[in-house]
A and B are shown apart, each in its own frame.
Chain A
């Protein structure tokens, strides 16, 4: 009655033994190859040595990137996944190797990034004995993984990994962790031919679409006077950019994005009215509280998007398209819940909506844009101040990259500047830590992004604080020779916290005054070219040199120390109370 869940009745295909028994370690790598993995980010250690030993013979199929810290490894895998749309794979050893993945797992879960993390574990007979480098990684990671599993016998490996990849990439994607004890890695067994997992009886990747709700949604949209679309990363995760654009263009509805949704519609598209949220654009925030129908697509109404919930879009009827039923009604009650994969639901909706335009309504967004340009944007992008601004760096970069680069941003003021001002012609062009807000994300994520999208220019935009959190990954850049362009926007402060302290804590600058090393000299130590700029005249040539440089380049730009990001919806305020200064 209590059979192993991995051999539950739904497992079908009969095992076909191979010629000779193989080790669990080899079976692990064969599974990765069978799943189409080409790149692994990892760091060896005692409990995962058997897998690393097997990897020695797999180097033609699997490119292993040796990172400098497991957190760097998992962020790199996140960058790889986000840029490529494929599953990122991480190897780490037991104990500290596994616990160093924790931040990345939490980040990947909240940002729905598909990852398979394989951790080594002590021998099964030592579990629970406080053995060297033993840690209960399953229980540590249960709240921050979509699924996790501990393998203690080699025979379990192929099916556990098949499930891991299926769960990571299907439905709402997320990180999974498979913990493999050392004995299971070493054990020889007759491995069946690898069978990918396509069905788990207790798991539904997506709810079944209900045509009735699609019809109701279309009726609401067709009768709306001031409809407004909010879209999030769900459009990108569902590879539904084409379907989304068709919906927006046929319905003629202004559309605004969350920071993870950026790029699903090009930033220059006439119906793209800008960014939502705390530091988003003026019009989308104010007009959220004036629209009559709010159409939320693949977004989860994060508190940084909604501001104060009881004053959020109370006048609007809400249509919520999401693949995850737990998101429906979680924060904002939906009038019509169109659950399902938006790749499937959007075309159904597009077919039923009437072709329309909303010129007067759209003009209101443009009015607010004009106000925001006068109050904030012009001075940020084309400053009259002597000091450089973060915005003008992005503006110059836009002019040079023409919206074709992948921007990887860290967390803080520079992140908001990068999100607000970077031009994006394509989806999967901005990799950033959205939900968790993980400082130190960008450098390793940029390494992964470049490996996941080798044909694209990858520019990491990082603050002086965040860069020092994972600065060791310069070693990974050096050793792999991966071509990432690194821009450090150095305001010599932990700028976002300083901004809050200035605005809400009487300028009591408590421990935000951070000192930095000579970043260019540090880069030089890693044989990475670099330059430091503190005068406007040098900025453009330096950016040009950076982009033209064959290989990695670190550009440190000294920017205004006490500049603030505006507009801003102060915490606890309604989106309509957004401040321009």
Chain B
């Protein structure tokens, strides 16, 4: 346990799970029971067929995230959970922006606007145009500010997806899980591994 002042920051929780009806609820109530808001939640396939991957973003202290991660991993259908601060992951969010075509075509330098924001037009109709961009929160936010003057009709941002920089994937871990007598890969517990340093006589 660190004695540094507890600082809240964004953590990316990655959970590898079975594909099971009701598991989303099992995981969601771990947060809601503690009155913790989920900032972002994405459920998708993983690199392995049949194994799902949850990406959950919350802003909490490391100690709390630690405990939450253990509680998630305790769920019967969850194979493995990791948690990382933003610096340890590559992450992206996608956003869609709907604007009136006449306004944007007339008043904006569309080509420059798209280039500067790494955006592209997904749909162009007589009545409206939909732009898309992908990136960090600041990037998707900044395009909102740019488009607001042109009568932004609708905006939506996707959940965050994140890849752990240090991860070497789940294939060999899964093989360990499938063994009755697992080796160190499954026996390891990331949440307690730094214990090696804790104890001194």
Is B162 interfacial (CB 8 A cutoff)?
no
Q: Does A15 contact B (CB under 8 A)?
A: no
Bound: A5/B17 CA distance, A: 11
A2 CA / B1 CA spacing, docked (Å):
40
Asked if residues B20 and A335 are in contact (CB atoms below 8 Å), the reply is no
Give A121 Cβ to nearest chain B Cβ, in Å: 14
Interface stretch (choices A43-51, A198-206, A268-276, A453-461): A198-206
Q: Give the residue of B17, B29, B73 whose beta carbon is less than 8 angstroms from that of A142.
A: B29
Q: By the criterion CB–CB under 8 Å, are A8 and B50 in contact?
A: yes
Stretch with Cβ within 8 A of B (4 or more), from A17-25, A325-333, A555-563: A325-333
> Which residues of A are found within 8 Å of B79, using beta-carbon distances?
201-202
Q: Which residue of B76, B79, B189, B195 has the most chain A CB atoms within 10 A of its CB atom? A: B76
Chain A residues whose CB sits within 8 angstroms of the CB of B178 once the complex forms:
9-10, 201
Q: CA–CA, A325 to B192, complex, Å?
A: 9
Report chain B residues within 8 Å CB of A203.
76-77
A325 adjacent to B189 (CB under 8 Å): yes
Mark out the residues of chain A between 184 and 211 whose CB falls within 8 Å of any chain B CB in the assembled complex: 198-204, 207-208
A138 at the interface (CB under 8 A from B): yes
* CB contact list, A1-49 vs B, under 8 A: 1-3, 5, 8-10
Question: A336 in the interface, Cβ–Cβ < 8 Å?
Answer: yes
Cβ contact within 8 Å between A337 and B76: no
Whether B166 sits at the interface, judged by CB under 8 Å, is: no
Q: A8-B18, A208-B187, A330-B67 are in contact. Are A324 and B74 (CB under 8 A)?
A: yes
B136 to chain A, nearest CB (A): 31
**Measured CA separation A75–B16 after assembly (Å):** 36
Shortest distance between the CB of A554 and any CB in chain B (Å):
40
Min Cβ gap A105→B in Å is 14
Report B-chain residues with C-beta under 8 Å of the C-beta of A219.
Answer: 201
Interface hits, B163-201 → A, CB 8 Å: 174, 177-178, 180, 182, 184, 186-187, 189, 191-192, 195-196, 198-199, 201
- Give the docked Cα–Cα distance between A373 and B184 (Å): 52
Which one of A5, A198, A212, A328 lies within 8 Å of B19 (CB-CB)?
A5
Interface magnitude class on chain B: 35 or more
Question: Is B120 engaged at the interface, CB distance under 8 Å to the other chain?
Answer: no
Chain A residues within an 8 Å CB radius of B25 = 139, 142
Is B154's CB within 8 Å of the partner chain A?
Answer: no
Whether B5 is near chain A, meaning CB under 8 Å from some CB there, is no
Chain B facing A: main interface SS: mixed
When the two chains form their complex, are residues A329 and B189 in contact, meaning their CB atoms are under 8 A apart?
no
User: Bound complex: CA of A452 vs CA of B150, how far in Å?
Assistant: 75
Residue of A whose beta carbon sits closest to that of B199? A216
Q: Is the CB of A5 within 8 A of B187?
A: no
Residue B33 interfacial (CB < 8 Å): yes
Minimal beta-carbon separation of B88 from chain A (angstroms): 21
Q: Which residues of B contact A148 (CB under 8 A)?
A: 22
Complex CA–CA separation, A142 to B29 (angstroms) = 9
Task: Quote the shortest CB–CB distance from B76 to chain A (angstroms).
Answer: 5
Q: What separation, in Å, do the CA atoms of A167 and B187 have in the docked complex?
A: 19
Chain B nearest CB, measured from A136 CB (Å): 10
Other-chain contact of B67, A10, A223, A326, A339 (Cβ < 8 Å): A326
Contact A2 B26 (CB under 8 A): no
State whether A325 and B70 are in contact (beta carbons under 8 Å apart), knowing that A8-B50, A223-B201 are contacts in the complex.
yes
In the assembled complex, A361 has its CB within 8 A of some CB on chain B: no
How far, in angstroms, from A337 to B199 measured CA to CA in the complex? Answer: 10
**In angstroms, how far is the closest chain A Cβ from the Cβ of B195?**
6
Instruction: List chain A residues, Cβ under 8 A from B17.
Output: 202
Q: Which residues of A contact B74 (CB under 8 A)?
A: 324-326
**Complex contact A142–B26 (CB within 8 A):** yes
> Do B29 and A201 have beta carbons less than 8 Å apart?
no
- Identity of the chain A residue whose Cβ is nearest the Cβ of B52 in the assembled complex: A2
A9 to B19 alpha-carbon distance, docked (Å):
12
Instruction: List CB contacts (< 8 Å) of B108-138 with chain A.
Output: none
Distance in Å from the Cβ of A225 to the closest Cβ of chain B?
14
Q: Return chain B residues, CB-CB under 8 Å to A1.
A: 45, 49-50
Interface residue B40 (Cβ < 8 Å from any Cβ of A): no
A368 at the interface (CB under 8 A from B): no
Q: Contact check, A2 vs B195: say whether CB atoms are below 8 A apart.
A: no
Measured CA separation A3–B25 after assembly (Å): 19
B188 to chain A, nearest CB (A): 9
Task: Tell whether B37 is near chain A: CB-to-CB under 8 Å.
Answer: no
Interface residues of A in 97-131 (CB under 8 A from B): none
Determine whether A147 belongs to the interface, using a CB cutoff of 8 Å to chain B: yes
Is A541 interfacial (CB 8 A cutoff)? Answer: no
* 6 A–B pairs (Cβ distance < 8 Å), ordered by A: A2-B19, A5-B20, A142-B22, A204-B186, A207-B187, A336-B198
Hey, which bits of chain B sit against chain A, CB under 8 A? Answer: 1, 17-22, 25-26, 29, 33, 45, 49-50, 66-67, 70-71, 73-74, 76-79, 174, 177-178, 180, 182, 184, 186-187, 189, 191-192, 195-196, 198-199, 201
18 more CB-based (< 8 A) A-B contacts, given A8-B18, A328-B192, A335-B198:
A1-B50, A3-B19, A3-B50, A10-B178, A139-B25, A142-B29, A143-B29, A146-B76, A198-B180, A201-B174, A202-B18, A202-B77, A223-B201, A325-B73, A325-B74, A325-B192, A326-B74, A329-B67
